[in-house]
Amino acid sequence: MKYLDEYRDPEVARHYVTAIEKITTKPWTIMEICGGQTHAIVRYGIQNMLPGEITLVHGPGCPVCVTPIEKIDKALEIAARPEVIFCSFGDMLRVPGSVTDLLSVRAEGGDVRVIYSPLDAVQVARDNPHKEIVFFAVGFETTAPGNAMAVYQAREMGLKNFSLLVSHVLVPPVMESILSNPDGKVQGFLAAGHVCTVMGMDAYVPIAAKYKVPIVVTGFEPLDILQGLYMCIRQLEAGRRQVENQYSRVVEAHGNRSAQQLISEVFQVIPRQWRGLGEIPQSGWGLAPAYADYDAERHFGLTEILPEESSDCISGEIMQGLKKPVQCPAFGIKCTPDHPIGAPMVSTEGACSAYYRYGNE
Ligand code: SF4
């Protein structure tokens, strides 16, 4: 199939593996940011193709995995209200809060609906004027334009029964957090191509310079990842520490200006809690004051709750590149996709789910 097979060609993959073998002289630890990249790496056995000197660790770029447990608990509280229709992408439904999940709330009678676009939630609000419609707006920079458009349209239409439960997070601040950890091992990054499609690459230039790490904006197919790794290792071996673009067929240096304009109209940068990682300054988006009426937490008068995370789950260490999923004592024993303890075992982008599904390490 065009646009897929050409990025999965085994001959070209062998070419990149040979090229990586030729240039690698030292041990290097490289983190892919995005959970989609993690799944491609584990599914296609990319780690196993590489020279033994190269270690791949898996970053925090799975939106479901980093949505804090207190936000899940707020979602559960809102979704259980009889006047509410709670709309969410499907993969949030099984993410455990401190006691239950959205799927269980639905089983107990809550009106929890899976939608495929935030604009579908706006339509649900138009179709149900006597109900309160809440959309669970989670994710990175990639999903922000769609979520911003939904609330922008709701305001344009004068909808009063629509709000967002927002848990947006940003990639550059979490990269800085990982690089600031004195126990950190990451020496180079594969940045997430789709995030840069929206935001461009400018924010990564000061990070590469300050922390002396190569950052290669990379796509999601096996050949994208092998080429991104080759570019990253080539920089490491040559002593260069720059931002490069492997995903140039999609990413432009300055990103999508229209999307950025819409985001800055609707959202403002705020501190954000990350599941497993704690609070990171200026690492998220919340609704801007002009859109405060569309803030579900404010609308429903929710107060701050600080639930306990399971002490069995080491997802924070995994997402900082300090450990791999198979080093979690609960992996595949107490924690499985059918009975997840932590979010990385639930999500289709979670590292633990990738290791469990493809199990090739
Ligand atoms: S295997 Fe389960 S408990 Fe362990 S880190 Fe992954 S999600 Fe958490």
Q: What count of other Cβ atoms lies within 10 Å of the Cβ of residue 53?
A: 14
Does the beta carbon of 87 lie inside 6 Å of ligand 1? no
- With beta carbons less than 8 A apart as the criterion, state whether 187 and 29 touch: yes
Mutate to test the pocket of ligand 1, among 331, 348, 355 (most ligand atoms within 8 A of CB): 331
Does the beta carbon of 341 lie inside 6 Å of ligand 1? yes
**Residue 318 alpha carbon to ligand 1 centre in Å:** 9
311-331, pLDDT tens digit by residue?
Answer: 889 999 999 999 999 999 999
Mutate to test the pocket of ligand 1, among 311, 312, 326, 328 (most ligand atoms within 8 A of CB): 328
Does the beta carbon of 315 lie inside 6 Å of ligand 1? yes
**Residue 137 alpha carbon to ligand 1 centre in Å:** 24
- Strands of the sheet containing 188-192, edge to edge, are 54-61, 28-34, 188-192, 215-218, 243-245
Query: How far is the C-alpha of 312 from the C-alpha of 334, rounded, in Å?
Result: 9
Geometric angle at alpha carbon 143, from 147 and 141, rounded to 5°: 115
**Nearest-CA neighbor of 360 among 30, 34, 16, 43?**
43
For domain 65-170+257-299, say whether CATH 3.40.50.11740 is its number. Answer: yes
Query: How far is the C-alpha of 8 from the C-alpha of 30, rounded, in Å?
Result: 21
108-151, pLDDT tens digit by residue?
Answer: 999 999 999 999 999 999 999 999 999 999 999 999 999 999 99
Does the beta carbon of 313 lie inside 6 Å of ligand 1? yes
Residues of the chain with CATH 3.40.50.11740: 65-170+257-299
**Residue 316 alpha carbon to ligand 1 centre in Å:** 10
Does the beta carbon of 233 lie inside 6 Å of ligand 1? no
Residue 227 in tokens: 């080429």
Backbone angles phi, psi at 356, to 5 degrees: -70, -45
- Which letter does DSSP use for residue 331 in this model? B
Residue 185 in tokens: 């091992």
**Which residue do the tokens 């305001």 mark?**
155
Share of the chain above pLDDT 70, in %: 99
Share of the chain above pLDDT 90, in %: 87
67-84, pLDDT tens digit by residue?
Answer: 999 999 999 999 999 999
The angle that helices 35-43 and 222-238 make with each other, rounded to 10 degrees, is 100
Does the beta carbon of 345 lie inside 6 Å of ligand 1? yes
- With beta carbons less than 8 A apart as the criterion, state whether 12 and 223 touch: yes
- With beta carbons less than 8 A apart as the criterion, state whether 308 and 70 touch: no
Per-residue pLDDT at 361 exceeds 60: no
Query: How far is the C-alpha of 265 from the C-alpha of 271, rounded, in Å?
Result: 18
Query: How far is the C-alpha of 249 from the C-alpha of 265, rounded, in Å?
Result: 28
- Residue 216 bridge partners (DSSP): 190, 244
What pTM was computed for the model? 0.93
Residue 56 in tokens: 């791949």
Chain mean position to CA 285: 14
Residues of the chain with CATH 3.40.50.11750: 5-61+172-245
Backbone angles phi, psi at 161, to 5 degrees: -110, 25
- Count of all residues that appear for the chain in the document: 361
Arithmetic mean of pLDDT over the chain: 94
**Which residue do the tokens 């499985």 mark?**
336
CATH number assigned to the domain covering 5-61+172-245? 3.40.50.11750
3-state secondary structure of 163: strand
CA distances to 138, 224, 314, 344, 349 from 175, rounded to whole Å, are: 19, 21, 19, 18, 18
36-56, pLDDT tens digit by residue?
Answer: 999 999 999 999 999 999 999
Query: How far is the C-alpha of 248 from the C-alpha of 315, rounded, in Å?
Result: 32
